[in-house]
């Protein structure tokens, strides 16, 4: 049998010598099975009807939505990621796949990389995946596209703010939402976890919040115990948010912030706090962030470590599954004041040792 069910919404087609194809419905699997058998029968005489690049990109996106990824169904953030990978290829959408050439793709992605290298890297990766899928379905693809070098991206080092700096940055945000900065800067919530926090997941009496598995990167529910200062921040936040909303850190109308919507208040706050700069691009003045929202998570982890929490406990609180291995490799940053405090401790220790030695010498001499 050429078609086998491989779980909910997963139908696998295997017609040798072609590679396996997995599809979301039985009807789609039957269509592909017939097509592959026809290709096998006709051999080199078979001609697949050309599709457009847009069709192939949309097809991959829809299959991702319906079938999910290696870890299961896609979260909203995952869907947005793939949508973002599709959007920049709009100028080439109507190009038939057999007519698409390496030169077109390379010139397009080079222009993207000059502006947004990380996004360009992801978009090229997604395009290659879509064209490989098209090739496996019988489309003629310029193999030169697969030979385009991946976009090199220099990883930016994270940054951690002192607690006073968190308060300073937050003060530039609207009153109804400014506490999101010190809260995330000590709890370590990711952006989506923070802006979707609702009343039913907050227990002020117990001093905990709850992040469901569908919003958590580790895919497991995450109860988080809060410090007293964090509980106090939440108490204050619930008093200043828009009336009638269940969202803790809500928009002006009481809704949930999107990434772009939050940027409209985040970038001006960064600029006012000296954590962003202005650049001119194509005759327009743009605000470029020198501090990312995700670095509030770096800040929280660094503050927890500074307070003496063990790496495995920090990992449990922020939702890492590695027992703390990633904490010191990526997230832990030393604060300037922390280094000065350590030097002062060394100074006191050496001075104390020297004083004891002098006292001992004086006594023995006497």
Please tell me the distance from the alpha carbon of residue 251 to that of residue 102, in angstroms, as a whole number.
44
Reported as type and span, the H/E element at residue 342 is helix 336-365
For residue 20, count other CB atoms closer than 10 A to its CB. Answer: 12
pLDDT of residue 249: 97
Domains of the chain: 1-44 (no CATH), 52-154 (1.10.150), 163-331 (1.10.443.10)
DSSP 127-186: HHHHHHHHHHTT----GGGGGSPPPP-PPPP-----HHHHHHHHTTS-TTTTTHHHHHHH
Q: Which of 87, 105, 86, 82 is nearest to 95 (CA)?
A: 105
Predicted confidence (pLDDT) per residue in 16-36, tens digit:
888 888 888 888 888 888 888
The sheet with strand 11-13 has its strands ordered as: 3-5, 11-13, 21-23
Q: What residues contact 260, with CB distance under 8 A and at least 6 apart? A: none
Structure tokens at 21: 């194809």
Between β-strands 208-211 and 276-281, what pairing exists: parallel, antiparallel or unpaired?
A: unpaired
Q: How far apart are alpha carbons 9 and 203 in whole angstroms?
A: 37
Cβ proximity of 4 and 22 under 8 Å:
no
State the pTM of this model: 0.65
Q: Is 36 exposed, middle or buried (0-12, 13-18, 19+ CB in 10 A)?
A: buried
- pLDDT below 70 — which residues of the chain? 1, 44-47, 69-71, 155, 282, 354-355, 358-366
Which tens digit of pLDDT belongs to each residue from 289-323?
999 999 999 999 999 999 999 999 999 898 888 88
* pLDDT computed for residue 294 by the predictor: 94
Q: Are 302 and 339 in contact (CB under 8 A)?
A: no
* Per-residue pLDDT at 46: 64
């Amino acid at each position: 049998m050429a078609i086998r069910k491989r779980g909910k919404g997963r139908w696998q087609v295997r017609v040798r010598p072609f590679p396996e194809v997995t599809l979301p419905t039985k009807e789609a699997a039957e269509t592909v099975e017939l097509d592959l058998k026809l290709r096998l029968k006709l051999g080199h005489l078979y001609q697949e009807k050309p599709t457009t690049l847009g069709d192939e990109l949309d097809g991959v996106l829809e299959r991702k939505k319906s079938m999910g990824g290696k870890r299961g169904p896609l979260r909203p953030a995952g869907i947005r990621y793939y949508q973002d990978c599709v959007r920049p290829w709009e100028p080439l959408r109507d190009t038939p796949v057999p007519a698409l050439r390496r030169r077109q793709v390379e010139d397009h992605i080079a222009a993207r990389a000059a502006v947004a290298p990380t996004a360009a890297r992801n978009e090229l990766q997604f395009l290659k995946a879509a064209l490989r899928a098209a090739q496996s379905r019988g489309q003629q693809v310029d193999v030169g596209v697969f030979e385009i070098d991946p976009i090199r991206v220099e990883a930016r080092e994270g940054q951690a703010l002192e607690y006073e700096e968190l308060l300073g940055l937050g003060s530039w945000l609207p009153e109804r939402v400014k506490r999101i900065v010190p809260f995330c800067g000590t709890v370590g919530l990711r952006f989506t976890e923070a802006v979707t926090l609702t009343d039913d997941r907050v227990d002020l009496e117990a001093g905990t919040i709850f992040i469901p598995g569908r919003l958590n990167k580790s895919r497991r529910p995450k109860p988080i115990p809060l410090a007293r200062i964090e509980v106090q921040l939440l108490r204050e936040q619930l008093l200043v948010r828009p009336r009638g909303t269940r969202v803790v850190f809500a928009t002006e109308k009481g809704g949930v912030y999107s990434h772009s919507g939050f940027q409209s208040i985040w970038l001006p706050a960064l600029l006012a706090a000296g954590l962003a700069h202005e650049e001119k691009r194509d005759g327009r003045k743009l605000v470029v962030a020198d501090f990312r929202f995700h670095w509030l998570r770096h800040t929280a982890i660094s503050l927890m470590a500074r307070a003496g929490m063990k790496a495995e406990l920090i990992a449990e609180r922020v939702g890492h599954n590695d027992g703390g291995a990633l904490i010191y490799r990526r997230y832990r940053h030393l604060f300037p004041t922390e280094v000065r405090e350590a030097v002062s401790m060394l100074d006191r220790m050496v001075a104390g040792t020297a004083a004891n030695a002098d006292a001992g010498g004086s006594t023995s001499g006497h």
